[in-house]
């Protein structure tokens, strides 16, 4: 795939590194602007791989580079921001990774000639890594190392790691680059207007951290315009002695006839370039929306206003009242003891057998009926009401809201199932803190399934993190800090439950993920529906080392069709043939009775092996749920 490229890879000796560092000490260097903006303006659709243009349209890429060089850029970045294995995969280009990166470096080198340094552009992987995602840090290092090696082979002068939101991920990228090259590294985070990264980490934390990890220059790019970026640069300058870089967007985009237009003028960007260099910034440039004309004006402004080599280097760090990384107080609060978190936590801590029944959020917003069901279950001896999160499609009240109403109006504790689906990391954090403020304490943390049915078949699902990352998040809140490492005051006191599937098709993978959840802070586990007691006992032996209370789930069939649906169409559920045969023989008037008999047999068999039972019924039938539990207490 791709056309041959006439840009030979040229090797350059180590003096390029020395020249770059020397130049950085003597003057402010101007980086280029937005490669993506320029390619889009030249007719490349946004659903294409811009990185693949290094192979298919190298002259177009070279043309953009040359426009920035002619505008006065001292540094141009390779067209390789997304050229890692994860991002190239959906385009079917993962096997061309080395070619794309090496040729990207060669194209930039030919365009730069001897007028500009070539920076290897590396962006995030596009997936969450631990502790928020299932990609391990070692795996991430491997992906970054592969790209960095290809860029080094192509012949670059430095590396720019840009648009990162996660310190763990950019740390993995720095490690990867260092494993293949001694060239300078510019490490740039992306922040919101408040100065915190998109994951909530403040500059007072990420700036010293990047310095400690070995970045040569640390800085910011993308997401915000010049004014809010300057505020964050000032805060960074107060806590680090490293030289800084600043590459803002050309303002916030505005939708003009269906296109995102960046409205900051070149003169405005240039005026902020002058302000940046007063705070130890030695690389200025632009991100989204920044054109060669912006760079031309910035170059003129920098040339006219460059300060002396040592100005601003440590003045703010030593200013009265300024706090460096070592001065920031560590989060050191005592977590809430498990037995004090909730009645459910106390019961499980003491070894008391507990029972839970699931109630579905109703359609619309009227909750009187479901609250009355919760009251009946409480009278029937149920310890906790389980509320599934988005179990079915349609306009239903949120699980969180229903859990609060049931606790307030029915006086019974709830177990809120909270899923990651359609929520980003900071949105999840806000929801969970709100749940704690409203009195909820028991959480069952799940990844969640994409919506497949209902009134909105075209609705999509978005997953920023999975259940392992979610467990890590809530565990941090329980230790008194947020995802960005900032203290939140008093720690939350959530009792953390996770889900496990004893009948998973790939049981080894299920157990591996379960171990990660335990390491992340899980305190009890709720199983998926159990229909095979012998198989479940074998499963229990494999997780006994975790020493977590296990609550086993039971589901009474309503009919033979219901049993066959569970066996064949519900992912992760295994129904033995013997139970399917029993339901088929009893189909008709006796089917519900036979389903209840099976459920009670399973419940009785589980009674001596688990610390609690969780009952869910196909239609939320309270009488059926109580019938399953009858006699177990």
Query: What does the pLDDT read at residue 570?
Result: 81
Contact 63/103 with Cβ under 8 angstroms?
A: no
- When mean pLDDT is compared over 364-373, 422-431, 480-489, the highest value belongs to 364-373
Query: What does the pLDDT read at residue 320?
Result: 32
Q: pLDDT of 264-309, one tens digit each?
A: 788 988 999 999 999 999 999 999 889 999 999 999 998 876 554 4
Q: How confident is the model at residue 223 (pLDDT cuts 50, 70, 90)?
A: confident
Q: pLDDT of 202-218, one tens digit each?
A: 999 999 999 999 999 99
Lowest mean pLDDT among 274-288, 309-323, 494-508, 566-580: 309-323
Element (H, E) at 309: none
How does 560-573 read in b/e, with b if 16+ C-beta sit within 10 Å? Answer: bebbeebbeeeeeb
Cα–Cα distance measured from residue 221 to residue 246, given in angstroms and rounded to the nearest whole number: 6
Which residues are CB-neighbours of 339 under 8 A, at least 6 positions away?
A: 345, 346, 349, 350
Q: Is residue 86 over pLDDT 50? A: yes
Q: pLDDT of 240-272, one tens digit each?
A: 999 999 999 987 765 544 555 556 788 988 999
338-629 topology per CATH: TIM Barrel (3.20.20)
- DSSP helix/strand/coil, 156: coil
How does 368-384 read in b/e, with b if 16+ C-beta sit within 10 Å? Answer: eebbebbeebbebebbb
Query: What does the pLDDT read at residue 281?
Result: 95
Domain extents in the chain: 15-320, 338-629
**Among 213, 226, 231, which residue's Cα sits nearest to residue 252?**
226
Q: Do domains 15-320 and 338-629 have the same CATH topology?
A: yes
Q: pLDDT of 587-613, one tens digit each?
A: 777 888 999 999 999 999 999 999 999
Distances (CA, A) of 344 to 84, 353, 355: 46, 10, 10
DSSP state of 325: G
Query: What does the pLDDT read at residue 393?
Result: 54
Cα–Cα distance measured from residue 189 to residue 205, given in angstroms and rounded to the nearest whole number: 12
Q: How confident is the model at residue 326 (pLDDT cuts 50, 70, 90)?
A: very low
Lowest mean pLDDT among 11-15, 78-82, 161-165, 327-331: 11-15
Query: What does the pLDDT read at residue 10?
Result: 41
Q: How confident is the model at residue 457 (pLDDT cuts 50, 70, 90)?
A: very low
Mean pLDDT along residues 546-561: 93
Q: Is residue 3 over pLDDT 50? A: no
- Report the chain's mean pLDDT, rounded to a whole number: 86
Give percent of the chain with pLDDT exceeding 70.
87
- When mean pLDDT is compared over 32-41, 93-102, 414-423, the highest value belongs to 93-102
Residue 409's CB is within 10 A of a number of other CB atoms, namely: 15
Domain 15-320: give its CATH code. Answer: 3.20.20.330
Pair of tokens at residue 36: 């993506």
Query: What does the pLDDT read at residue 423?
Result: 77
Alpha helices in 548-621 (DSSP H): 560-569, 577-585, 591-606
What is the side-by-side strand order in the sheet with 185-189? 29-30, 281-284, 243-247, 217-221, 185-189, 158-164, 117-122, 75-77
């Amino acid at each position: 795939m791709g056309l041959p490229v006439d840009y030979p890879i040229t090797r350059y000796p180590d003096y390029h590194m020395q020249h770059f560092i020397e130049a950085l000490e003597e003057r402010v260097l101007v980086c280029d602007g937005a490669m993506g903006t320029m390619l889009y303006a030249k007719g490349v659709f946004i659903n294409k791989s811009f990185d693949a243009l290094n192979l298919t349209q190298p002259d177009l890429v070279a043309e953009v580079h040359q426009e920035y060089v002619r505008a006065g850029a001292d540094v141009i970045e390779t067209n390789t921001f997304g050229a890692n294995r994860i991002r190239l995969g959906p385009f079917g280009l993962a096997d061309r990774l080395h070619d794309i990166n090496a040729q990207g470096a060669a194209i930039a080198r030919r365009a730069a000639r001897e007028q500009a340094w070539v920076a290897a552009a590396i962006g995030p992987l596009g997936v969450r890594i631990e502790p928020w995602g299932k990609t391990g840090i070692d795996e991430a290092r491997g992906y970054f190392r592969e790209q960095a090696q290809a860029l080094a082979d192509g012949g670059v002068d430095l590396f720019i790691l840009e648009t990162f939101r996660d310190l763990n991920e950019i740390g993995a990228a720095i490690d990867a680059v260092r494993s293949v090259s001694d060239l300078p590294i510019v490490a740039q985070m992306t922040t919101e207007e408040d100065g915190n990264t998109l994951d909530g980490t403040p500059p007072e934390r990420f700036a010293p951290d990047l310095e400690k990890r070995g970045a040569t220059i640390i800085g910011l790019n993308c997401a915000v315009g010049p004014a809010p970026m300057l505020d964050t640069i000032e805060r960074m300058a107060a806590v680090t002695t490293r030289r800084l870089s600043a590459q803002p967007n050309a303002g916030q985009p505005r939708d003009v006839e269906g296109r995102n237009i960046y409205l900051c003028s070149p003169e405005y960007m240039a005026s902020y370039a002058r302000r940046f260099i007063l705070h130890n910034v030695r690389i200025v440039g632009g991100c989204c929306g920044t054109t060669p004309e912006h760079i031309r004006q910035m170059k003129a402004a920098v040339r006219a206003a460059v300060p002396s080599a040592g100005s601003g280097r440590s003045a703010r760090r030593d200013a009265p009242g300024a706090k460096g990384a070592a001065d920031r107080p560590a989060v050191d609060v005592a977590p809430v003891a498990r037995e004090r978190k909730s009645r459910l936590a106390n019961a499980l801590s003491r070894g008391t057998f507990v029972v839970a029944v699931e109630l579905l959020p109703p359609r619309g917003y009227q909750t009187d009926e479901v609250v009355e069901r919760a009251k009946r279950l409480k009278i029937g001896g149920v310890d906790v009401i389980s509320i599934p999160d988005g179990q079915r499609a349609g306009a239903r009240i949120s699980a969180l809201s229903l859990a609060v109403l049931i606790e307030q109006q029915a006086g019974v504790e709830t177990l809120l199932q909270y899923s990651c689906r359609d929520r980003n990391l900071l949105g999840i954090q806000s929801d969970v803190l709100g749940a704690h403020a409203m009195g909820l304490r028991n959480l069952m943390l799940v990844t969640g399934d994409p919506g497949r049915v209902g009134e909105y078949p075209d609705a999509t699902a978005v997953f920023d993190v999975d259940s392992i990352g979610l467990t890590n998040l809530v565990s941090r809140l329980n230790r008194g800090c947020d995802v960005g490492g900032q203290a939140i005051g008093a720690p939350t006191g959530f009792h953390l439950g996770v889900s496990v599937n004893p009948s998973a098709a790939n049981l080894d993978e299920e157990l591996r993920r379960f171990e990660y959840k335990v390491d992340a802070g899980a305190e009890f586990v709720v199983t998926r529906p159990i229909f095979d007691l012998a198989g479940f006992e074998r499963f229990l032996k494999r997780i006994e080392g975790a020493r977590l209370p296990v609550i086993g789930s039971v589901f009474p069939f309503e009919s033979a069709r219901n049993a066959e649906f569970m066996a064949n169409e519900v992912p992760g559920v295994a129904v033995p043939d013997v139970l399917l045969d029993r339901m088929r023989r009893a189909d008709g008037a006796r089917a519900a009775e036979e389903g209840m008999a099976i459920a009670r047999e399973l419940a009785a068999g589980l009674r001596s092996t688990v610390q609690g039972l969780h009952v869910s019924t196909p239609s939320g039938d309270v009488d059926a749920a109580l019938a399953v539990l009858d006699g177990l207490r």
